[in-house]
Amino acid sequence: MSIIDLRGPVPTSTPAPDRPRRRFSPARSRRWLRAHGLQLYAVVAFAYIFTPIAYVMVFSFNIPARSNIAWRGFTLANWENPCGAPEVCNAVGNSLKIGLSATLIATVLGTMIAFALSRYRFRGRTSTNLLIFLPMATPEVVLAASLLTLFLNLKVPLGFVTIVIAHVMFCISFVVVAVKARIAALDPRLEQAAADLYATEFETFRRITLPLLAPGIAGAALLAFSLSFDDFIITNFVSGNVNTFPKFVYVSAQRGIPAQAYVVGSFMFLLAMTIVLVVEAVRWRRSVKK
C-alpha cells in the first residue's frame, strides 16, 4: 500500500536579497537635523564655551617656565604653591576685597531700588528705570573715561576707594534687574494673608517677603561679585597703583602668564561650579520632599 505525501513539495531556501544601500536624501537629512538640531547646537555651544576653561585647568598643572603656552609635563607644584609667582596673591587679595565690598553695597542699594520701582508709584519712576539701564548699555571704555574724568576733577586720589565706587555703580544695575524679576514673580496674596493674620509690615517683610526673595538676592549678589572680580577696563582706568587680578593677568601676558594665574582661575571656576551644584542639590531635595 503506497503512502501519499500530502505536504506538497518541500520549499527550498533562497538567500535573502541584499538590502539596497540608502542614498543621500536631502529630505532625510532635513528630518534628521530637525530632530537632532537642538542637541547638536548644544554640544557645539558647550564645546565653544568650555574649551578655554579646559585649557586653563589643564595648563595649571604644567611645569612652570617663562611662558605657559607649551606643555612641558605634569606637576602639582603650582597647586601646592599658588603664591609662587610674584604679586599674584596680593592681586587676588585686592580683587576679593574689592569684590566683596562692591557686592555688599550694590546688593543692599540695588535691592532697595528694586523694591521702590516695583512696589511704589512716584514722580520720576520712569526716568529712574531708564537711568538704571544706562550703565548696562554704555560701553565700558566710555564709562571708565567718564569716571576717571570725574575723579580727577574732584581731586579724588585713585585707589581702592575709587575702584569700589566704580564697581558699585555698574553692579547696581544688574542687582536691580535680578531682584525686580524676583519681586514680580511673588504672589501678593501671601503678604495679604499675613496682614489678615495681624502681622505688622516688618514681620511680613521678615517672615514672608525676605525669605521668598532670598534666592533672587543671592543670585544678584553672586552676579555682582563675578562682575566686580572679573572687571578690567574700568578698573584699569580708576585703580591708580592698586593691582587687581585682571590687571596682573594683563601685565603678565606681555612676558608670559605664570601657571599660578591658571591655578587661581581654575579654583574660582571650581568654586562657582560647587556653589551651583550645592544649590541645585538643595533645591532637588526640597522638591522631592514635597
209 band by pLDDT with thresholds 50, 70 and 90: confident
* Separation between Cα atoms, residue 25 and residue 67, nearest integer Å: 51
- The C-alpha angle with vertex 47 and arms to 32 and 36, in degrees rounded to 5, equals 10
**Over 80: is that where the pLDDT of 15 sits?**
no
Q: What is the mean pLDDT of residues 268-273?
A: 88
pLDDT score, position 280: 84
DSSP 74: B
pLDDT at 139 over 70: yes
Confidence of residue 97 (pLDDT cuts 50, 70, 90): very high
Q: Where are the domains of the chain?
A: 29-77, 87-257
* Averaged pLDDT, 157-177: 93
Q: Give the position of cell 573715561.
A: 145
Give the model's pLDDT for residue 27.
Answer: 75
What would the mean pLDDT of 195-204 be, rounded to a whole number? 83
pLDDT (mean) for 69-96: 88
pLDDT band at 34 (very low <50, low <70, confident <90, very high): confident
**What is the third-level CATH fold of 87-257?**
MetI-like fold (1.10.3720)
pLDDT level of residue 284 (50, 70, 90 thresholds): confident
Q: Are 168 and 106 in contact (CB under 8 A)?
A: yes
Kindly compute the dihedral angle of the four CA atoms of residues 34, 40, 42, 47, in this order, to the nearest 10 degrees: -160
Residue 23 confidence class, pLDDT cut points 50, 70, 90: low
The predicted-structure confidence for 112-132, as pLDDT tens digits, reads as follows 999 888 888 888 888 888 888
Beta bridge partners of 74: 62
Question: What was the pLDDT predicted at 10?
Answer: 55
pLDDT, position 245: 92
Q: What is the mean pLDDT of the chain?
A: 85
Cβ-contact 73, 62 below 8 angstroms: yes
Confidence of residue 18 (pLDDT cuts 50, 70, 90): low
pLDDT of residue 4 exceeding 70, the answer is: no
Cα–Cα dist 98/55, whole Å: 27
**Phi, psi (rounded to 5 degrees) for 23:** -90, 160
Mean pLDDT of 134-142: 88
Lowest pLDDT segment from 21-35, 63-77, 181-195, 232-246? 21-35
Mean pLDDT of 49-76: 85
DSSP, residue by residue, 182-249: HHHTS-HHHHHHHHHTT--HHHHIIIIIHHHHHHHHHHHHHHHHHHHHH--HHHHHH-TT---HHHHH
Residue 241 has pLDDT above 60, yes or no: yes
Q: For residues 165 and 175, what is the distance between their CA atoms, to the nearest angstrom?
A: 15
> Residue with C-alpha cell 524676583?
182
pTM, 2 dp: 0.80
The per-residue pLDDT for 30 is 78
Query: Rounded to whole angstroms, what are the CA distances from 116 to 31, 86, 162, 177?
Result: 51, 47, 27, 13
* Max mean pLDDT range (4-8, 13-17, 256-260): 256-260
Flag whether pLDDT at 225 surpasses 60. yes
> Please, which pLDDT band fits residue 98 given cuts at 50, 70 and 90?
very high
DSSP secondary structure string for all residues of 154-187: TTPPPSHHHHHHHHHHHHHHHHHHHHHHHHHTS-
